[in-house]
């Protein structure tokens, strides 16, 4: 595992960790029992995924680095969600992109079995976000839901595509993963 792959894996672990912590904060605040329970489980799952990736990094001589020191990642661009609608719109927008990248990662030639095993485990656990869309669709303030969905989708698209362009300029496996992700997005029209 080269340094660029370790950096990429570290960024995934940080995103999973930050997402889990944000969801956990909203679980702590939630007044609705259904929402609180769902957020607790989802928060724990995201933090567990960060732990899987961190363990993989440690096994390969790497570690998770400080999160987003340049302020250019998803959470820095989007800002901390100010409501339950925003936190769930952010999660609804982010989850498919993370899943896409994890699936492309494991399908890229040259990825180690250890990495594939970790991402297969995460992919299996990530197939749960339908409740988020259902919850957002039942909210009375449709304009707040639409605004939050649009804002988070735009931020995630912008940051993800910028990151893909940066990764495609590198060498080795990380470059191949980025090229494959770009092809997947174009083939499937992810943001059209």
Query: What pLDDT score was predicted for residue 141?
Result: 94
Distance CA 53, CA 70 (A): 22
Distance CA 15, CA 77 (A): 13
Query: What pLDDT score was predicted for residue 127?
Result: 64
* Residue 185 scores a pLDDT above 80: yes
Question: How many domains is the chain partitioned into structurally?
Answer: 1
DSSP 8-state code for residue 72: -
Query: What pLDDT score was predicted for residue 70?
Result: 57
pLDDT tens digit string along 31-75?
A: 999 999 999 999 999 999 999 999 999 999 988 876 555 555 666
Query: What pLDDT score was predicted for residue 82?
Result: 92
pLDDT tier for residue 80 given thresholds of 50, 70 and 90 = confident
Query: What pLDDT score was predicted for residue 144?
Result: 96
The closest alpha carbon to 96, from 67, 77, 123, belongs to 123
Distance CA 109, CA 48 (A): 26
* Burial class, 53, CB count within 10 angstroms (exposed 0-12 / middle 13-18 / buried 19+): buried
pLDDT tens digit string along 117-171?
A: 999 999 998 866 689 999 999 999 999 999 999 999 999 888 888 889 999 999 9
- Which residues neighbour 173 within 8 Å (Cβ) at sequence distance 6 or greater? 2, 4, 5, 108, 110, 111
Q: What CATH number is given to the structural domain containing 107?
A: 1.20.1260.10
Distance CA 6, CA 153 (A): 27
The pTM is what? Answer: 0.90
Query: What pLDDT score was predicted for residue 111?
Result: 93
Query: What pLDDT score was predicted for residue 128?
Result: 66
Query: What pLDDT score was predicted for residue 78?
Result: 79
E-strand stretches of the chain: none
* Centroid of chain to Cα 180: 18
Distance CA 8, CA 15 (A): 11
Query: What pLDDT score was predicted for residue 89?
Result: 95
Range of the domain at 128: 3-188
Q: How many other C-beta atoms lie within 10 A of the C-beta of residue 183? A: 11
* Residue 12 scores a pLDDT above 60: yes
* Residue 96 scores a pLDDT above 90: no
Asked if residues 118 and 60 have their Cβ atoms less than 8 Å apart, the reply is: no
Query: What pLDDT score was predicted for residue 72?
Result: 54
Largest CA distance in the chain: 50
């Amino acid at each position: 595992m080269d340094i660029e792959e370790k950096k990429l894996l570290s960024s995934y672990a940080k995103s999973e960790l930050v997402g889990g912590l944000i969801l956990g904060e909203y679980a702590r605040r939630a007044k609705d029992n259904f929402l609180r329970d769902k957020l607790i489980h989802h928060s724990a799952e995201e933090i567990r995924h960060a732990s899987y990736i961190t363990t993989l990094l440690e096994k390969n001589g790497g570690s998770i680095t400080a999160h987003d020191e340049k302020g250019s990642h998803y959470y820095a661009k989007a800002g901390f969600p100010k409501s339950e609608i925003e936190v769930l719109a952010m999660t609804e927008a982010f989850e498919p992109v993370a899943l896409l990248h994890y699936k492309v990662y494991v399908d890229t030639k040259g990825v180690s079995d250890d990495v594939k095993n970790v991402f297969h485990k995460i992919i299996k656990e990530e197939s749960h976000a339908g409740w988020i869309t259902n919850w957002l669709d039942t909210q009375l303030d449709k304009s707040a839901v639409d605004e939050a969905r649009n804002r988070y989708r735009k931020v995630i698209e912008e940051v993800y595509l910028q990151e893909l362009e940066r990764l495609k300029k590198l060498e080795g496996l990380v470059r191949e993963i980025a090229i494959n992700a770009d092809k997947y997005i174009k083939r499937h029209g992810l943001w059209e």
